[in-house]
């Protein structure tokens, strides 16, 4: 009941950017040979994968990533989808497979993509047998956009429990240095029976939390700097406020410092800058890297969801560090932020390097990408330091 629909039957290219070819797809896998004949048929005309076939196979053996999705004739991409269908696949009955094969043989000649919003012809016999509502498979650009706006498309990335989130956060803190550990053993590249696959809940709310904490602590830091400079600089104002969030500090000065200098103005720009920086780091940067590796370099390594998930969880070390950076000493901020950056970049690089280097194309083109990832982290670190926790003099 939790996932009321599934949307991942769509094998439409460009349909859902969170999909990409699974790099571990192996043609000669024994699992697929039983279904190879069916699949060859389906690969040629059907736009609907029958993931539950593979799911059954997979449930028998250990969950690997080697299942194939049918290919569209209109595209040359070998779009073997690494995404595992979510819970609702359990509700699809067995007859679908047979009927779909029959339908596909009947409609072998129909290879044109369906109309704007109409379901492709192969879906219609299947739809009547689905117990629950299944999303139409968009085959056009406009349909893809509408599917991105539909809430149900994202439900599979929120199919996560509180325990899983805690496990992932602990894995970031404890196992960040282990190669491939976070991606393979904690998150899982695809959704399987044991590992839930990349989620978007963690990245989104960790980012929001970090934005809020940065907005508050940057002002705390400025406030403490302000009051200490008043103490050491001019007068002996006895403003002993422990709360730095207020608009005005009610200082009871007993010295000759002017009232204007005692005012601490809360800077709302810290919050806005934090929002831009963090959102750009967690959402825009992984998207850019995904587009670069997927489309420009044709490296089929990580899905978009995995990129965003990795980058989102890589912000976890910054959460306690941002709180600790209230301490007004500059060296403390430098050291703490450097440590957090190191943890974060290790997590990302260790999990990304192997898939990027795995295939032949990657051998040549992956090192610049990894260098870009490193550079982006360093830039993020400098941004944090100089935008939020820096005062000259």
Partner 1 sequence: MMQPNNGGGPQWANPQGTQQQHATAVSLAQQEDAFFAPLSTLDEPVRETIMRDVRSVASKLKVVLLPMDRTIPYGGYAGVSQTENIELTDRDKQIIESLRDWDLWGPLIVCLGLAVLLSFNAPVGQASLVFATVFCAVWLGAAVVTINTQLLGGTISFFQSVCVLGYGVFPMTMAAVVVLLFKMLPLGVFSVLVEVAVLFVAFLWSTRASSVFIGQYIVASRRVLAVFPVLFFYTFLAWLVLLF
Only one residue has tokens 């420009």, namely 296
Of the candidate spans 48-56, 115-123, 138-146, 233-241, the one that interacts with partner 1 by CB under 8 A turns out to be 233-241
Q: Count the residues of the shown chain that bind partner 1, applying the rule CB under 8 A.
A: 33
162 near partner 1, rule: CB under 8 A: yes
CA-nearest of 72, 73, 75, 61 to 26 is 61
149 binds partner 1 (CB under 8 A): no
Q: Are 22 and 150 in contact, with CB atoms under 8 Å apart?
A: no
What stretches of 10-68 show up as alpha helix (H) in DSSP?
A: 30-33, 36-45, 51-60
The string of DSSP codes covering 297-347 is S------HHHHHHHHHHTTTTHHHHHHHTTS--HHHHHHHHHHHHHHHHHH
Nearest to 131 by CA among 85, 158, 94: 94
Tell whether residue 260 is a contact of partner 1 (CB under 8 A).
no
Contacting partner 1 within 163-182 (CB under 8 A): 163, 165
Candidates 47-55, 108-116, 125-133, 150-158; binding stretch for partner 1 (CB under 8 A): 150-158
Considering only 32-40, 57-65, 101-109, 153-161, which stretch makes contact with partner 1 by CB under 8 A? 153-161
Q: Is position 263 an interface residue for partner 1 (rule: CB under 8 A)?
A: no
- Contact region with partner 1 (CB under 8 A), list: 40-48, 52-60, 208-216, 224-232: 208-216
What is the C-alpha to C-alpha distance for residues 3 and 87, in angstroms, rounded to an integer? 6
**Residue 332 touches partner 1, criterion: CB under 8 A:** no
> Shortest approach of partner 1 to residue 228 CB, angstroms?
17
266 binding partner 1? (CB under 8 A):
yes
Spatial separation of the C-alpha atoms in residues 382 and 389, rounded to whole Å = 10
Stretch that binds partner 1, among 43-51, 158-166, 178-186, 305-313 (CB under 8 A): 158-166
Report whether 66 contacts 179 (CB < 8 A): no
Q: Answer whether 245's CB lies under 8 Å from 234's CB.
A: no
Q: Would you give the DSSP letter of residue 257?
A: -
Cβ-proximal residues to 389 (8 Å cutoff; 6+ apart), any chain = 218, 221, 325, 333, 337
CB of 208 to partner 1, least distance (A): 7
Q: Establish if 226 lies at the interface with partner 1 (CB under 8 A).
A: no
The answer to the question of residue 246 lying near partner 1 (CB under 8 A) is yes
The binding track of 16-35 with respect to partner 1, each residue x by CB under 8 A or -, is: --------------------
Decide: is 151 part of the binding site for partner 1 (CB under 8 A). yes
Which of 28, 97, 31, 23 lies closest to 62 in space, CA to CA? 31
Q: Applying CB under 8 A, which residues contact partner 1?
A: 1-4, 151, 154-155, 157-163, 165, 201, 205, 208-209, 212, 216, 239-243, 245-247, 250, 252, 266, 268
């Amino acid at each position: 009941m939790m996932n009321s629909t599934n949307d991942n039957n769509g094998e439409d290219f460009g349909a859902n950017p969170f999909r990409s070819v699974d790099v571990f797809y192996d043609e000669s896998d024994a699992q697929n040979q039983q279904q190879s004949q069916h699949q060859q048929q389906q690969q040629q005309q059907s736009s609907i994968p029958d993931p539950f076939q593979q799911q059954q196979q997979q449930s028998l053996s250990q969950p690997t990533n080697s299942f194939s999705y049918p290919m569209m004739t209109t595209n040359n991409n070998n779009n073997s989808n690494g995404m595992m269908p979510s819970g609702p696949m359990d509700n699809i009955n067995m007859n679908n497979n047979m009927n779909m094969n029959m339908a596909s043989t009947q409609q072998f000649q129909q290879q044109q993509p369906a109309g704007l919003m109409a379901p492709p012809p192969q879906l219609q016999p299947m739809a009547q047998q689905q117990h629950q509502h299944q999303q139409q498979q968009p085959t056009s650009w406009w349909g893809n956009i509408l599917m991105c706006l539909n809430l149900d498309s994202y439900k599979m990335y929120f199919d996560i429990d509180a325990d899983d989130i805690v496990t992932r956060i602990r894995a970031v803190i404890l196992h960040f240095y282990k190669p491939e550990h976070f991606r393979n053993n904690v998150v899982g590249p695809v959704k399987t029976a044991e590992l839930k696959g990349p989620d978007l809940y963690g990245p989104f709310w960790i980012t929001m939390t970090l934005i809020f904490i940065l907005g508050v602590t940057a002002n705390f830091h400025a406030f403490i700097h302000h009051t200490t400079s008043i103490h050491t600089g001019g007068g002996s104002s006895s403003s002993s406020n422990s709360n730095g969030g207020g608009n005005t500090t009610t200082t009871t000065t007993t010295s000759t410092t002017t009232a204007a200098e005692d005012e601490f103005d809360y800077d709302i720009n810290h919050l806005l800058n934090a929002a831009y920086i963090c959102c750009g780091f967690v959402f825009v940067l992984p998207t850019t890297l995904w587009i670069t590796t997927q489309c420009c370099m044709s490296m089929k390594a990580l899905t978009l969801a995995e990129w965003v998930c990795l980058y989102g969880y890589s912000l976890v070390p910054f959460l306690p560090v941002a709180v600790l950076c209230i301490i007004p000493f500059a060296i403390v901020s430098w050291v703490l932020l450097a440590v957090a950056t190191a943890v974060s970049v290790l997590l990302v690089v260790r999990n990304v390097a192997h898939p990027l280097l795995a295939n032949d194309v990657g051998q040549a083109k992956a090192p610049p990408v990894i260098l870009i990832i490193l550079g982006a982290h360093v830039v993020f670190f400098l941004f944090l330091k100089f935008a939020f926790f820096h005062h000259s003099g």
